[in-house]
């Protein structure tokens, strides 16, 4: 081992502390304190917090959620509660009557957003959600969970535009399929009519 003057190691360490102290006055990467709430550190575009539900156009009819309960089953701390809306005959209307997320239990893992097959649930970036009502204030229902597709677009442009493009393509495909079906039905009907007429003519 190298023999040093006793106390030299201490002084060397103190020099490091001194350097850091002096640099903390002028060096930009050392001035790391952000004066919250007057100023805010920029949040990463990937930052995730609590989930929200997306709707297109109308907050009630446009809700993408079909109450399939996949997120409810996969949720690790089991903080999602869904009740399916049914009409008077008991037939499923494919939309949630109740959709509650208890954000005092939610652990922000993002699995609900990952497993959703209907592009309906995504992770929000809002973080200033403190409340003095610890029961009602932290249990988010449909009214507070539903957010518009524009909000999603603003929050995560890349993800939202990809989803929108896919949904649009799907819709067009569906519309094309429906149109083709209608056209085919019409053609069939016409062919049938023509055949009947022919038959009638022969008779």
Angle, CA of 57, 59 and 63, to the nearest 5°: 85
Residue 190 CB, shortest distance to another protein, in Å, is: 44
Separation between Cα atoms, residue 50 and residue 79, nearest integer Å: 11
The helices-and-strands tally (H runs, E runs) of the chain is 6, 6
Nearer to another protein by Cβ, of 44 and 130: the residue is 44
Q: What minimum distance in Å lies between the beta carbon of 125 and another protein? A: 9
CB of 36 to another protein, least distance (A): 15
Q: Which residues of the chain form contacts with another protein (CB under 8 A)?
A: 4, 6-10, 12-13, 16-17, 20, 32, 44-48, 70, 73-76, 107-111, 114-115, 117, 123
- Nearer of residues 65 and 75 to another protein, judged by Cβ: 75
Q: What is the DSSP letter of 78?
A: -
Q: Which is nearer to another protein, 123 or 145 (CB)?
A: 123
Q: How far is the CB of 170 from another protein (least distance, A)?
A: 18
What are the residues whose beta carbons fall under 8 Å from the beta carbon of 203, sequence distance 6 or more?
Answer: none
* CA gap 71, 52 in Å, rounded: 12
Phi/psi for 59 (5° steps) reads -65, -25
Compare residues 59 and 125 and give the one whose CB is closer to another protein: 125
Q: How far is the CB of 81 from another protein (least distance, A)?
A: 16
Structural contact between residues 54 and 148, judged by C-beta atoms closer than 8 angstroms: yes
Q: Which is nearer to another protein, 9 or 62 (CB)?
A: 9
Backbone φ and ψ of 143, nearest 5°? -60, -40
State both tokens at 184. 């085919």
């Amino acid at each position: 081992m190298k023999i040093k003057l006793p106390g030299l190691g201490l002084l060397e360490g103190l020099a490091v502390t001194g350097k850091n102290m002096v640099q903390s006055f002028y060096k930009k990467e050392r001035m790391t304190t952000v004066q919250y709430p007057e100023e805010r550190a920029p949040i990463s575009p990937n930052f995730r917090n609590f989930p929200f539900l997306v709707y297109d156009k109308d907050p009630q009819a446009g809700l993408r959620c079909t109450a399939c309960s996949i997120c409810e089953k996969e949720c690790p701390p089991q903080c999602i509660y869904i009740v399916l809306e049914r009409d008077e005959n008991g037939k499923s209307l494919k939309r949630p009557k109740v959709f509650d997320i208890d954000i005092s239990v939610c652990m922000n893992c993002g699995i609900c957003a990952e497993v959703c097959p209907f592009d309906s649930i995504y992770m929000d970036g809002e973080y200033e959600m403190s409340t003095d009502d610890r029961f009602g204030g932290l249990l988010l229902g449909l009214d507070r969970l539903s957010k518009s597709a524009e909000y999603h677009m603003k929050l995560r442009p890349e993800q939202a535009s990809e989803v929108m493009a896919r949904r649009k393509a799907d819709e067009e495909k569906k519309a094309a399929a429906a149109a083709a079906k209608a056209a085919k039905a019409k053609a069939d009907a016409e062919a049938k009519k023509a055949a009947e007429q022919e038959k009638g003519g022969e008779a």
